[in-house]
Structure 1
């Protein structure tokens, strides 16, 4: 499952927003109807995970945390408690709860950004934050693609 694109939308007065049709089609093709939303760990944006993606990530986290590790349990508790299960209504909308709107500093305009197996939701005013300049992007991509390349 791969989400691609950069699509603007608006929330209504209740905080509902339409999931862009291109992303809904990817979900439908994969048979995923349930989404999990949480604030991103690194950025001031929200992330939508299809349930299957969320479950894979949770399994990976649980493999690394012992039930006897107090700090690990605190991290797990915070990670899970900041997540919300969502389903789309018949029109393809979902509600972004007020606390999530505040966490991501979203007022009304949002930008959905496809990020491989997840979807980010940014306040439109903040969408320059996660991007590099074109020159820096080119240099970093070249570095990444050249690392680990076999010589010869």
Structure 2
């Protein structure tokens, strides 16, 4: 068992609007010991972040970088804490997504769960695929830029 959320899975919502959290993600949540599932809309994506104590700690660490009286702290706390929900996980490992979360993501009948190590994201499947395609394209550009840069020569290496 791992203590990180990895991979991605797409699950359908049932007739009552519940969706099963992937079993590997449930195992990480159980090890984390958080009651329920902490979620908040992603700041700049049509997805939402989810997790337990590790995600909460990351948010607390980010907020600790700012004075609690600063505009930055206020904005971040409002965005990360003020729009968050704690979803109940039923005994079968399912959650019910609120209308606010579904509206933010566009989720209708299926959810893609995407691991991000200390947290995971929930996406509408076609929006996640578009996001993944764009991320891969950006990374190809980075790889091309890095490979076109000349590397410093090493003494004793061919061509040095």
TM-score when normalising by structure 1 = 0.81
Deviations 1:116-150 (A, max 9, x none): 11111111121222224656534536878xxxxx9
Shift of 1:95: 1.1
TM-score when normalising by structure 2 = 0.77
Give the Cα–Cα distance (whole angstroms) in 2 for the partners of residues 54 and 86 of structure 1. Answer: 14
Shift of the 112–142 alpha-carbon distance from structure 1 to 2, 3 Å rule, reads farther
- After superposition, the CA RMSD in angstroms is 2.8
| Residues 108-117 or 63-72, more deviating | 63-72
- Between the two structures, name the one with larger relative contact order (CA 8 Å, sep ≥ 6): 1
Give the Cα–Cα distance (whole angstroms) in 1 for the partners of residues 20 and 145 of structure 2. Answer: 37
Q: List alignment gaps of at least 5 residues for structure 2.
A: 147-151, 155-160
Please tell me whether Structure 1 or Structure 2 has the larger radius of gyration of its CA atoms.
Answer: 2
After the TM superposition, which residues 97-112 of structure 1 pair with which residues of structure 2 at under 5 Å, given as runs?
Answer: 97-112=98-113
Q: 1:11 — aligned with what?
A: 13
Q: List alignment gaps of at least 5 residues for structure 1.
A: 145-149
Report which of the two has the higher share of strand.
1
1:17–1:95: 8 Å Cα contact kept in structure 2?
Answer: yes
| Structure 2 SS opposite 1:128 | helix
